[in-house]
């Protein structure tokens, strides 16, 4: 079966291309558990800050939450990829907040990273090398075995390249 035929079979196995892409991106991003591990330390930080107005307590609570999520992953022998990303982000946010003494500074790294993503995505569109197309291609199930699989022309590759 040719690579294009495999791509068509993959799309046909789903109701819509949107559902296929959502499923693949959910897998790459860790599903509901990866999303929870990424968001929970920030939610804890905000809740502790709102309730107690204690910056040090909010930072400690968010770092402890990230560490507990890591322990849960170790106990279940799951991948630490998403927990480590969350821990790194939480530690970076804690550094900014503690250094400035203001809870709002915890969100500065996220704002700067989002601005960087915006500029990079905009440049990729302007240069006609859309990074979103490459990300969707990397979500291809056989990408690790065949990195060129994301670069092939398939039934929905026109969406990524315009």
Alpha-helical runs (H) found in the chain: 3-12, 17-28, 31-52, 55-75, 81-100, 108-126, 131-138, 157-161
φ/ψ bin of 101: left (φ > 0), alpha (ψ from -120 to 50), beta (otherwise): left
pLDDT tens for residues 122-145? 999 899 888 877 776 666 666 566
C-beta neighbour count of 1 within 10 angstroms:
7
pLDDT tens for residues 75-122? 888 777 777 777 787 888 888 878 887 777 778 888 888 899 999 989
CB 86 within 8 A of CB 43: no
Q: In terms of pTM, does the model score above 0.85?
A: no
Report how far apart, in Å, the C-alpha atoms of 145 and of each of 8, 10, 112, 140, 159 are.
19, 17, 34, 10, 24
pLDDT at residue number 118 = 92
CB 19 within 8 A of CB 66: no
Contacts of 86 (CB under 8 A, 6+ apart): 37, 38, 40, 41, 66, 69
């Amino acid at each position: 079966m040719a690579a294009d035929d495999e791509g068509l079979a993959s799309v046909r196995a789903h109701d819509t291309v949107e559902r296929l892409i959502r499923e693949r991106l959910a897998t790459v991003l860790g599903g509901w558990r990866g999303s929870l591990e990424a968001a929970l330390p920030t939610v804890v930080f905000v809740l502790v800050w709102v309730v107690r107005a204690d910056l040090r307590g909010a930072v400690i609570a968010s770092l402890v939450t990230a560490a507990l999520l890591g322990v849960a992953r170790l106990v279940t022998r799951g991948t630490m990829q998403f927990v480590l990303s969350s821990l790194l982000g939480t530690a970076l946010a804690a550094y900014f907040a503690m250094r400035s003494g203001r809870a709002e500074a915890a969100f500065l790294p996220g704002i700067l990273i989002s601005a960087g993503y915006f500029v990079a995505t905009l440049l990729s569109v302007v240069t006609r090398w859309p990074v979103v197309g490459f990300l969707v291609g990397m979500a291809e199930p056989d990408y690790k075995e065949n990195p060129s699989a994301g670069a092939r022309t398939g039934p929905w590759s026109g969406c990524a390249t315009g």
